[in-house]
Structure 1
Amino acid sequence: MQGKRTAVYCRVDRGGNSEMRRDALEMQKRKLERYAAEKGLPITGYYEDDGFPGQDLNRPGLTRLLNDYHAGVFEQVLVMNRSRLYRGSRWNEPQWPFQVCSVKQLEHDLVR
């Protein structure tokens, strides 16, 4: 994980007003930047979707993320948790072409 070119992806659904969603996106981004800095992960791109449910895979930020991955912009994606990329049954989750690094999961694994 360390040293790999990393994309940061943030998503919030339609809950709350636009200011609350913007604050939530900014909070995710700051936490992910801090985590990346601590782990020596070079961030090569930021991607976000505001107001989209996790089951909807037709999101502009996610589409740009996938296109940039295929163009070689990054090797892995850093998210707060996997539900930011996809929210639904794990059995229906897409097979992402990139490595997904969930801060929540990585922190959980360290505690165990």
Structure 2
Amino acid sequence: MSAEDLENYETDMELALYREYRDVVGLFSYVVETERRFYLANQVDLQTRSADGEVYFDLTLTDAWVWDVYRSARFVKKVRVITFKDVNVEELTKTDDLQLPE
């Protein structure tokens, strides 16, 4: 496999992941971004904790989807993430009442 073949394979995998994200984003209520991953979830519990003078974040996501091109199963029932970096949680707006212009 050449370097170009590998690059094309990775590009195709990323495009497929983006398409999957686009298809499932409407099923979730929250977008969560950590230092290492991007998640969609329907329930988020974010706790700020400290130990030995260090602050960290204890994040539990329920009914989640993980943005990871190398995971075979991206849907997970429950995820627990511990991180020392900032966590960004955004609530998605539902577009059920979308009106198309005439």
TM-score normalised by L of structure 2: 0.32
Rg (Cα) greater in structure: 2
**Structure that is richer in strand per residue:** 2
Question: RCO greater where, 1 or 2, for CA within 8 Å and sep 6 or more?
Answer: 1
